[in-house]
Amino acid sequence: MTFKPARLLLALIAVAAAPAFAQNAAVVNGKAIPTAKVDALVKQVVAQGQQQDTPQLRDMIKKSLIGREVMIQEAEKQGLSKSKDVTVALEQARQDIMLNALAADYVKKNPVGDAEIKAEYERAVTAEGDKEYHVRHILVETEKEATDIIAKLKGGAKFEDLAKNSKDTGSAANGGDLDWGTPGNFPKVFADAFTALQKGQVTEKPVQTPSGFHVIKVDDTRAVKLPTLEEVKPRIADSLMRAKLQAYQESLVKKAKVQ
């Protein structure tokens, strides 16, 4: 059997068009919805553990995409894509996508290494120390007030009673109680003062911080149980990567011509 030229051309067109059509899950008013888009959404849903890949799931996702496409086309028809609110939102979305892509690319090229995580963990452990303290304090405005309080304590006054007049109203009602904490939870000058004390001791001199002058007492101490490296590894890695991204942004700002 032989084909006439016209029939041969039509046959070739039909063969060429068949695979292209198969690549589409649907065509809505001439706009194609690629099968690959359905596949991607199915994969996403299955990965979340919500459902299994079934014909019913694929049909549901296909119908959802068709519904979205119909609505988008209607919005376009009504000229909403040119409205100020939509153009501003689209530009914001574009910027967010670009920023996320840049961050992902930077993370891929500059991963946080195990050595960095271990070093940060060891730094944090050293800063926290192996002991935690049950601390009380009395906060006043002037050094003289604090000195007078120390003298009263030496004279036999109860710390809890004097703490009722503390500027720190949050702890004043509880006798100046700051509960248990490691040195790393407090300003350095404050922590340096109480770590030099033994159980039951009070600072000999007022301790100054930006908040005022403190009289500090250590009620008790105990060994602190810190989490293992493996327990906090993901959090440390995330913190280090955020710090790297912040430094990367700052380096770009320095290079930029800002007027």
Q: pLDDT tens across 147-178, in order?
A: 999 999 999 999 999 999 999 999 999 999 99
Question: Is the model's pLDDT at 105 over the cut of 50?
Answer: yes
Q: How much is the average pLDDT of 89-98? A: 96
**What pLDDT score does 20 carry?**
45
Single pTM value for the model: 0.60
Q: pLDDT tens across 176-224, in order?
A: 999 999 988 899 999 999 999 999 999 999 999 999 999 999 999 999 8
Q: Which residue type is seen at 151? A: A
| pLDDT mean across residues, the chain | 90
Q: Are strands 24-28 and 212-223 parallel, antiparallel or unpaired?
A: unpaired
**What pLDDT score does 22 carry?**
59
Question: Is the model's pLDDT at 1 over the cut of 70?
Answer: no
- Give the confidence band of 130 by pLDDT, cuts at 50, 70, 90: confident
Torsion of CA 113, 119, 124, 130, to 10 degrees: 130
Q: Is 26 helix (H, G, I), strand (E, B) or coil?
A: strand
**DSSP assignment letter at 202:** B
Q: pLDDT tens across 4-56, in order?
A: 545 544 443 444 444 444 589 999 999 999 999 999 999 999 999 878 999 99
CA distance 251 to 31: 44
Q: Residue 52: which of 63, 22, 68, 60 has the closest Cα?
A: 60
SS3 content of the chain, % helix, strand, coil (to 5): 60, 15, 25
Question: Is the model's pLDDT at 122 over the cut of 50?
Answer: yes
138 close to 158: Cβ distance less than 8 angstroms: no
CA distance 146 to 214: 7
